[in-house]
Amino acid sequence: METSERIKKMGEPALLKYYPLVNEAQKKGKKVYFLNIGQPDIKTPESFLNSINCLDQKVLSYQAPEGIIELREAACDYYRRLGLDYGIDDLFVANGGSEALLFTFMGICNAGDEILTAEPLYSIYKEMAAATDVKLVGFKTYAEEGFALPDIAVIEAAITPKTKAILMTNPGNPTGKVFSKEEIEILVGLAIKYNLYLISDEVYREFVYDNQAYLSPAMYDELAQNFILIDSISKRYSACGARIGFIVSKNKGLMGQLKKLVQMRLSVSTVDQIGAISLLKLDGHFFDGILKEYTRRRAVVFAALKEIPGIICAEPRGAFYFMAKLPIRSACHFIEWMITDFDDQGETVLLSPANDFYLDPRDGADEVRIAYVLNSDDMKKSMEILKHGLAAYAQIFPEKCK
């Protein structure tokens, strides 16, 4: 029995593919630090479960496909606190940021249309593009340059008659890149000049370090008809298991069309929506302590990485990932070996190979992504394990090292 060409083009996200090996290792008693996935260890605010516990609905019924009005209102209030003026008709609740993106791809692209984005990129974008017959086109950014946008001419050269949108991730995953005002204005200008959508995936919005201000294409009125904001409560409130995202746009025509996609799947989880209302009502200071904690973790990891010979990495300005070049030839081989063959007093770490964050899988062969989602002690420990792992690997596989 045949499957579709689009599904055959999809890949397994690298951040998941080592789990069978990890299970084996754990069964043998090995402790694994999970630095491969953006699953924070921060406690989900109690208001989420408390509000669910207060639920007195006798029938757990469908909700409006666009989302519960109180949740959409709470989202508008949240955006207002950021200085953004959205009304409830400007946003739909989605099954996580993932569905928000999938529906956006389906809604703006025909089969064969192109979306332009910076590399390295969030690997799941590739799967969504394959699933919807969209072609992702990348322009490269580099750790050595702090993942800055390339010259505008490089981006313009990648725009074709098939290009429907520019997709930016701000702050960036896996790069930790936070776009400057100048960079945002370049993308805003290009979207207007070429009449493209500008999709801004801002699920890590609050994870910006060093007192940087929140900047977004959302602030440019002249872009309003071209602008689509993708959002999610997952990272912000450490609620990845509640599948609540948002598609936001002031383009009424677009939203009128996208409405058909949210109607197609009838409803988003009632319970998650009710929990999410309570989260969005938390005031801005809720995040202060969390940001302090992540700042600490970032410092611990950066200090440790600088001490490991041969590692090249920039300090991320946002999100909670380091992209690091290791002094090895195949990150995939090293990561697998760390799980199957190596341990440091019974412990090891799981990283993400960075080739998955590029469109051409030959890119990023010597890079890894390190998610600093564990507490500082565990991060410190993990970096020691990584250091010892690299040293042992160099002895066993000198030909695989640089």
221-260: which residues touch its own copies (CB under 8 A)?
Answer: 225-226, 238-243, 251, 253-254, 257-260
Q: Which range, of 62-70, 177-185, 205-213, 297-305, touches its own copies by CB under 8 A? A: 62-70
DSSP category for residue 314: P
Tokens of 391: 């040293």
Closest to 276 measured CA to CA, from 93, 97, 103, 62: 93
Q: Which range, of 121-129, 148-156, 306-314, 320-328, touches its own copies by CB under 8 A? A: 121-129
Q: Using the rule CB under 8 A, is 44 a contact of its own copies?
A: yes
Q: Is the peptide bond before 171 cis (omega within 30 degrees of 0)?
A: yes
Residue among 1 and 153 whose Cβ is closer to its own copies: 1
One symbol per residue from 279 to 318: x for binding its own copies (CB under 8 A), - otherwise; what is it? ----------------------------------------
Residue among 53 and 345 whose Cβ is closer to its own copies: 53
- Confirm if 271 and 52 have CB atoms less than 8 A apart: yes
Tokens of 160: 């074709």
Tell me how far, at minimum, the Cβ of 42 lies from its own copies, in Å. Answer: 7
Closest to 92 measured CA to CA, from 299, 259, 215: 259
Residue among 28 and 58 whose Cβ is closer to its own copies: 58
Residue 382 amino acid letter: S
Residue among 282 and 394 whose Cβ is closer to its own copies: 282
What length is written for the chain? 402
Tell me how far, at minimum, the Cβ of 155 lies from its own copies, in Å. Answer: 19
One symbol per residue from 331 to 370: x for binding its own copies (CB under 8 A), - otherwise; what is it? ----------------------------------------
The single residue among 22, 30, 88, 98 that binds its own copies, judged by CB under 8 A, is 98
Tell me how far, at minimum, the Cβ of 7 lies from its own copies, in Å. Answer: 5
DSSP category for residue 344: B
Q: Using the rule CB under 8 A, is 20 a contact of its own copies?
A: no
* Kind and range of the H or E run holding 230: strand 227-232
Q: Is the peptide bond before 161 cis (omega within 30 degrees of 0)?
A: no
Place of tokens 């009005």: 69
Residue 91 amino acid letter: L
d(CA 167, CA 189): 14
Residue among 96 and 364 whose Cβ is closer to its own copies: 96
Residue among 93 and 349 whose Cβ is closer to its own copies: 93
Tokens of 80: 């207002």
Residue among 260 and 402 whose Cβ is closer to its own copies: 260
Chain-centre distance for alpha carbon 152: 24
Residues 156-215 interacting with its own copies (rule: CB under 8 A): 164, 195, 197
